[in-house]
Chains A and B, each alone.
Chain A
Amino acid sequence: MQQSINLIAKSASIPCSSLVTDVSNSDFAVNASENPLSDDPLDEMFSILDIGGQNLSRIAGIASANEAPRTIVSRSISNVDLKLKLQFCKVRFLLLTRNLKQAKREVKHAINVGNGRDSAMALFLKAQLEYDRGNHRKAIKLLMASSNQTEAGIASMFNNNLGCIYYQLRKYHTSAVFFSKALNNCSSLQKDKPLHLLTFSQDKSLLMIYNCGLQYLACGKPILAACCFQKASLVFHKRPLFWLRLAECCLMALERGLIKASQALSDRAEVRVNVIGKGKWRQLVIEDVISNRLVDFVGKVDLVFGSDGQPNLSLPLARQCLYNAWHLLNCSELNNLKSGLPASLEENESSEVVSWKTSNQKNLPSIDSKASTLLVGLGQVNSNGNAREQKGGSNQGIIQNSISYYEEICRKGNQMIKQALLADLAYVELELGNPLKALSAATSLLGIPDCSRIYVFLGHVYAAEALCSLNKPKEAAVHLSIYLSGDSNAELPFGQEDFEQWRVENTVDCEELNEESVTAKNPPEDWHNLMFLKPEEARGTLYANLAAMSAMLGEFERAYHFVTQALSLVPNSPEATVTAIYVDLMLGKSQEALAKLKQCSRIRFLPCSLQLNKSS
């Protein structure tokens, strides 16, 4: 019996060593053979596994000597595969935590270790790295190089990733084509085979549908976007950003007049004038812009999706979504605080109780924060396992650094979401005619430390309007006059650079960016302007609102000055035009008022209906 064990050991050692020589050109293998007690925990893990294998073989040898050699051979082959898989995991971890510099190093390493194996995976990861670094062209090339796009699963991911890249290149229609291709691949995958467990466990279609939703939102199709988000909610409902996007669908639908029983903002964005009488008796009746704004919401609010499957986008739904997002953000913040503390059993229990009490949903804490605590846990196990001291720059350190770095990114990201969310909420409450709630949202927004200047501007504008509705025009004026230098000149509330900052804050290592990526980072100027006011327009808005408030306070000369400034910056604004006409009338300049009304480009003259004559 003793002899047979020896034999097994010998036969086991042969394939092992031959494989090691196979990959000996990689420093990984050299490390393992020359320096068995290297600093690399991965290597250590492998050596432990090898020892374990031998132990097992000895025991197995007693039980059934004949089977043992085969099992050991297969085990030693999978060692390199395992090494590669672990290396891939490492790269993915680094990409997830946005440690791009380290990820670049490790992806090279992975390609060396793999030595041609699993090249698709390596290329995908490399493409993702370039995508994250903003080298979109390079990412496309790498994706194209991955050979087996014939397999439906791979093809769908390939198309999805191309969709992501084209989205970032702002070619939304191209990205739409790729996303729909990706989804087609997915559905063919589900049709072709008989029901197979992997088809379900590997199904990525919901993730792609979320991408689709984002793309529809970018193309200005809020209802289609909402349909996508509804499907994707199965996966994404715990993410605050998801709910913010759904709220944005509602806002966009409102803007485009797609909300039932409401008037499109585009309709509201003009002065409507009824022309009455003829000749010397001709009169112009200006319709009330403010009362046009109040939208009636009589319909059911609780149903997100109507019986026809069409999303029932509404402002109350937007508000509900924003509250969900707010709740989730607060939960994850609470959780991050908790994860930093040594978790005793009692604490765990109490936090669970809290999450049960505060919501109906189970397991509210976000996925991300859970993953990070898990990783921290792993790190601790590692450090306990190794009694030896770790040098700086070791895996242990990289993991810890990456995690803390990633947590910082998440925290910042959540702060950004919070700003957008509160701005949206203040806007929605104003639209719904709840100035008090709008005011509290705007005040919270202004209270966020390091708030983006864009959102500070919105916060002040919304707060001012809410205060006006609450009959506190003086307090309202304070919000706007902080932008006044001197008595009558408004500053730019934000600059073009604020738009850049808004985006770039998330990016990490920019040290090796080549020219291509720099151009990619600075998208065409007109892009932001499609989405929001230019800085000059924002200043015009400030002037217009300052004029309206001065007029309300009876300071008509001041209002006249402001509104003149406003009309020079935002000549097409109906609100500014109406205020200007009002001010002119109050100053007794009715001819000027008429002239302004006729100069306004956003005006619609409506012939008056004279059915009365017939009836009388």
Chain B
Amino acid sequence: MGKKMLNHEEQRKLLDLLKSASEQRLMEEILSEFFSNADLRLFNICYSLSLLLQDKRQLSSSERLVAFAILHQSYSSQKPSANPFISFLVNAACDDKAEKFERAFIIHLLGSGSSNNSKEIVKLSAADYIKSFDPSSHAFPQREQLQQQYCDKVHPEPYTSTFKIAAIRNVLSDPDVPFGCDANSPEFNSQLGGKPKLGSGDRDEAVNGLLANMSVGGLSPCLIRPIPPMFPVDERELVWLNPDNNHGLQWDHGMCADASRGTAVRDLIAKALKGPLAPPLQEHVLGELANDPKLVYHCGLTPRKLPELVENNPVIAVEVLTKLINSPEIAEYFTVLVNMDMSLHSMEVVNRLTTAVELPKEFVRMYIINCISSCENIKDRYMQNRLVRLVCVFLQSLIRNRIIDVKELFIEVQAFCIEFPGIREAAGLFRLLKTIESSS
């Protein structure tokens, strides 16, 4: 619903005003009574009146005069150009089809703003004014002249859209009279007391209705605004479901489960670096390491500490290195193992490792060469003897178990045997070499 122009109070006042105009009352009196209502929205009332005035039949002559007077007087305290209806008034004054007395009346009104003495015309009643009107005594100025006079300053209009500017009166006259009859003939005016005739109607009722239904907007051209279409749903937008792999979650029971076990082993390993562990403790460490393959990474061992572990607890060292065989640090452990001082224990560790896992060939070769040079460099005869015997046994074991290929180290090992002819194990090793050489 469009916004109604007038509220009930305003409609009632306006109707009273128009009714009193038909009576023999002075216009001045009517106007001052009307303007005494302070809470009226003058613009809305004037706009409604201007709409009613556009249809010349709608209001009686005296009503029209009062209406024009209101349009003018509502804004008479300001300059004529500030009156929003000034162009409407000027146009009405220049309308050749309008009654002469009406045009003269408007011109008179317009002139009254500048000269106070010409207010006398409102001191008549509307009917008297019409009666006493003498067309010969009035000259009607040109439209341009009036426009120049009263619409002198172009007012910056408040912003309105083109549609609003283009809007016209939205009232269409649709006389409901029998076909072929002239709607303007007085026969259709409603007669008091008479039986309502087909096509007759009450003018006041129509004015009432118009005032009640007048809305702010007029009739203007209208643009179609199509509603955008729904974006098409393609196959992919609807979610198609396929059975999933039912991957359940697997709980890692070792994770964070028993931190104390780790700490116990860590403590034992720390002890094992300083001296041999008692057999039950050693068994305990081995058991723990076997139960939890990841424990080895948390036992606190580093490559630098390896020689101490090897010297004090070779069995544990073997187990730890076996577990670490696939870890990236194993190479570092091997480097440390190769470079540490030769001893019974280190040799035992390497020997055991060779049977447990596959050691890199290069590592084994380096170790053997290290062993041989260690034997040669020892000054203490007794210790040298002991070490040479050990190395010989170690080598024999490696050869018998096919851990090393003798051909690669043949010269080094042969030279080693020849260097220590007095040692029984060296002679045995030499014999072993000879038999391998002859068999191949």
Say yes or no: A594 contacts B172, CB within 8 Å. Answer: yes
Say yes or no: A283 contacts B174, CB within 8 Å. Answer: yes
Most buried by B among A244, A289, A541: A289
Interface residue B220 (Cβ < 8 Å from any Cβ of A): yes
CB distance from A463 to the nearest CB of B (A): 12
Most buried by B among A280, A545, A551, A586: A280
Given A214-B233, A506-B236, residue A279 in contact with residue B219 (CB < 8 A): no
Most buried by A among B216, B224, B242: B224
Q: State which residues 207-223 of A face B: CB under 8 Å.
A: 207-208, 210-211, 214, 217-218
Which of B222, B233, B242 makes the CB contact (< 8 A) with A125?
A: B242
Task: Give CA–CA (A224, B344) in the complex, Å.
Answer: 85
- By a CB distance below 8 angstroms, the chain A residues around B233 are 167, 214, 218
Say yes or no: B224 contacts A281, CB within 8 Å. Answer: no
Interface residue A356 (Cβ < 8 Å from any Cβ of B): no
- By a CB distance below 8 angstroms, the chain B residues around A547 are 221
Per-position binary interface string of chain B over residues 210-250, scored 1 when its CB falls under 8 Å from any chain A CB and 0 otherwise: 11111111111111111111111111111111111110110
CB distance from A560 to the nearest CB of B (A): 12
- Chain B residue, CB-CB nearest to A574: B222
Which of A252, A283, A616 makes the CB contact (< 8 A) with B16?
A: A616
Say yes or no: A251 contacts B228, CB within 8 Å. Answer: yes
Interface size on A, residues (CB 8 A): 123
Given A288-B215, A290-B220, A608-B213, residue A62 in contact with residue B176 (CB < 8 A): no
Given A283-B173, A286-B172, residue A423 in contact with residue B166 (CB < 8 A): no
Interface residue B200 (Cβ < 8 Å from any Cβ of A): yes
Say yes or no: B2 contacts A279, CB within 8 Å. Answer: no
Which of B161, B172, B220 makes the CB contact (< 8 A) with A590?
A: B172
Say yes or no: B356 contacts A62, CB within 8 Å. Answer: yes
Given A423-B228, A465-B223, residue A131 in contact with residue B201 (CB < 8 A): no
Say yes or no: A283 contacts B206, CB within 8 Å. Answer: yes
Interface residue A461 (Cβ < 8 Å from any Cβ of B): yes
Say yes or no: A274 contacts B248, CB within 8 Å. Answer: no
Task: Give CA–CA (A587, B216) in the complex, Å.
Answer: 23
Pick from A328-336, A373-381, A577-585 the stretch touching chain B. Answer: A577-585
Say yes or no: A291 contacts B224, CB within 8 Å. Answer: no
Given A211-B239, A288-B2, A615-B12, residue A581 in contact with residue B201 (CB < 8 A): no
Interface residue A161 (Cβ < 8 Å from any Cβ of B): yes
Which of A63, A286, A532, A581 makes the CB contact (< 8 A) with B229?
A: A532
Task: Give CA–CA (A465, B162) in the complex, Å.
Answer: 11
Overall SS of chain A's interface: helix
Say yes or no: B12 contacts A616, CB within 8 Å. Answer: yes
Which of A280, A288, A469 makes the CB contact (< 8 A) with B176?
A: A280
Task: Give CA–CA (A593, B173) in the complex, Å.
Answer: 11
Given A461-B225, A468-B223, A615-B8, residue A288 in contact with residue B230 (CB < 8 A): no
Say yes or no: A544 contacts B224, CB within 8 Å. Answer: yes
Interface size on B, residues (CB 8 A): 82
Which of B226, B240, B357 makes the CB contact (< 8 A) with A541?
A: B226
Say yes or no: B214 contacts A285, CB within 8 Å. Answer: yes
Say yes or no: A613 contacts B224, CB within 8 Å. Answer: no
Per-position binary interface string of chain A over residues 116-135, scored 1 when its CB falls under 8 Å from any chain B CB and 0 otherwise: 00001100110010011010
Interface residue A51 (Cβ < 8 Å from any Cβ of B): no
Task: Give CA–CA (A547, B220) in the complex, Å.
Answer: 12
- Chain B residue, CB-CB nearest to A426: B228
- Chain A residue, CB-CB nearest to B173: A283
Given A207-B241, A465-B225, residue A597 in contact with residue B172 (CB < 8 A): yes
- By a CB distance below 8 angstroms, the chain A residues around B242 are 92, 121, 124-125, 128, 157
Say yes or no: A582 contacts B220, CB within 8 Å. Answer: yes
- Chain B residue, CB-CB nearest to A197: B249
- By a CB distance below 8 angstroms, the chain B residues around A164 are 235, 238-240
- Chain A residue, CB-CB nearest to B293: A63
Interface residue B398 (Cβ < 8 Å from any Cβ of A): no
Task: Give CA–CA (A473, B166) in the complex, Å.
Answer: 12
Task: Give CA–CA (A465, B284) in the complex, Å.
Answer: 89
- By a CB distance below 8 angstroms, the chain A residues around B220 are 288, 290, 552, 582
Task: Give CA–CA (A507, B166) in the complex, Å.
Answer: 50
* A and B contact pairs by CB, cutoff 8 A, 20 listed: A63-B290, A134-B235, A164-B235, A207-B241, A208-B239, A276-B206, A277-B209, A278-B202, A279-B200, A279-B202, A281-B203, A288-B216, A290-B163, A469-B163, A503-B234, A578-B222, A583-B221, A609-B212, A616-B12, A616-B16
- Other than the given A282-B176, A544-B223, 12 more pairs (CB < 8 A) read A62-B357, A160-B241, A168-B238, A202-B246, A207-B239, A280-B188, A281-B202, A291-B217, A292-B1, A549-B223, A579-B221, A582-B222
Query: Closest 9 interchain pairs by CB?
Result: A279-B201, A277-B206, A288-B217, A276-B209, A532-B229, A548-B221, A281-B206, A278-B201, A281-B201
